[in-house]
Structure 1
Amino acid sequence: MTVLVADDHAVVRRGVRAYLESLDDVEIVGEAGDGQEVLDRLGAMSVHRALPDVVLIDLVMPRLDGATTTALIVERFPGVRVVVLTGFGERERVHGALGSGASGYLLKDAGPGEVAAAVRAAARGEVFLDPRVARQLTREMVSPASGLGALTLRERDVLMLVAQGRSNQEIADQLLISERTARKHVGNVLRKLQLSSRTQAALVAVREGLVPPQGRPVGDDG
């Protein structure tokens, strides 16, 4: 398995690299300090048809965060799997990462064996979750969130942009995603909030204090 390690802290990258390189079935093919560098490296690798099997990525990084980077990796390089390795286990971050297409989610205090297991599972096309994250998701299945609490961080961002009157293409440009992905996020927002139009979504955003009661007219482009 080939792996690219992405974290804005060099000491973390080196530690993860040192461990993974001690495994017989893993080869580290690169490092990156932020999301944009990840995409640049993958773009260069794709020219030579040498993309890694797995990208092990942090969520909080400069220039381009891990969730946004994950979504772009999945969109541009569908054969590459992404495993999140982060210090944050909040519900919204977990949903944001998994909603962006991550194949695994680990907390940084996970044991070395769990990191290896997550990488191997991702390379096989499977999903590996930190046990605490898995328990959290299980609890949510028993008592699912509703209203704004059901939205991921990315979906909240989309809701705020919808309330500002942005079209799907403008949302895509703002969030550095495709128009198709933006349209999908808008649809998820409407479905989760049980709404039928962008205008209703905008009113909810204003009512909940996400945006001030002003802005451009809201269209219904889906």
Structure 2
Amino acid sequence: MNPSIFRAYSVRGVVGRDLDAADMRALGQALGSAVLEGGGRTVAVGHDVRTHSPALAQALVEGLCAAGAEVLFLGLVPTPVLNFATDLLGADAGVAVTASHNPPDENGLKVRTDRTLLQPDLLALRARAEEGRLRSGRGRIRRETVKETYLGQVCARVRGTPCGLRTVVDAGNGTIGPWARALLERLGCAVTVLHGEPDGTFPHRSPNPLDPGSLAALQEAVRRQGVDLGLAYD
């Protein structure tokens, strides 16, 4: 495995050049082995909207199951929801297959147990995989959904009632689009969503809202509609 893809708190690289399904499978088996050796068993897994994310997530799940872990599969979810689900479901670890705001040809993963795994921890998984210090077992997959619980708990934590707040959201064709609309509407906001359909090719703007020009559509909509708030997501 290319050591350069192991970053400060994530694994990220260009798919097909820096990492592939075999790498994800190996990392999955390494993580599953580490979780089981630590007395755990369950790993929550979710992925983002990138075109290669479903296949990479499947490879990761195969590796986890090969180690004997139980996978709680969330499917397409924002990374904060994966973290929420990891705690809600009592999982021993959580993995998001994502490259966050990086370009569309990149992917990777973020891993957490009771804390986010940092570069030394991630490199230890790489070493475990390459040295063959892996468990073998027959894990299983359980599909889970936490959307209603997540939305309900977020709404319960909002202080005051932002009812009537006029909002424009630029979801950037990321995973967040349907979630942002559902949450803000539940809070009583009037919501316009730009680029709300999840699309891993990111046809309208860069996944990174800080890139030059990425906020142009949002800025124009905020001015034209005279709304109270504009939000851009990566």
Decide: shared fold, TM above 0.5.
Answer: no
Report which of the two has the higher share of helix. Answer: 1
- Structure in which a larger fraction of residues adopt strand: 2
Higher RCO by CA contacts (8 Å cutoff, separation 6 or greater): 2
TM-score for both structures, normalised by structure 2:
0.29
TM-score (norm 1): 0.30
